[in-house]
Amino acid sequence: MIRAPLTEHKDLEACLAEIAGDDGAVTDISGAAVRCAIRGRDWRILLTHGGVFDAEAAEFRPGSVAGTVIEHMAVRFDVIAKDQVDAYVAPSFAHDLFAYWTSVARGLDVRG
- Asked whether residue 18 carries a pLDDT value surpassing 90, the answer given is no
**pLDDT at res. 88:** 93
C-beta of residue 51 within 8 angstroms of C-beta of residue 68: yes
Residue of 85, 81, 87 whose CA lies nearest to 100: 87
Residue 97: per-residue pLDDT: 92
DSSP codes of every residue in 6-58: -BTTB-HHHHHHHHHTTT------TTS-EEEEEESTTHHHHHTTT-SS-TT-T
Q: Delimit the domains of the chain by residue range.
A: 32-106
Residue 68, pLDDT score: 92
Radius of gyration of the chain (CA): 16
Q: Model pTM? A: 0.71
Reported confidence tier of residue 50, pLDDT bands at 50, 70, 90 = confident
On average, the pLDDT of the chain sits at 84
Tens digits of residue pLDDT in 51-66: 888 889 989 999 999 9
CATH classification code of 32-106 = 3.30.70.1400
Flag whether pLDDT at 35 surpasses 80.
Answer: yes
Residue range 78-101, pLDDT digits in tens: 999 999 999 999 999 999 999 999
Q: What is the pLDDT of residue 51?
A: 81
What is the rounded CA–CA span in Å between residue 32 and residue 18? 23
Pick the most confident of 31-35, 74-78, 101-105. Answer: 74-78
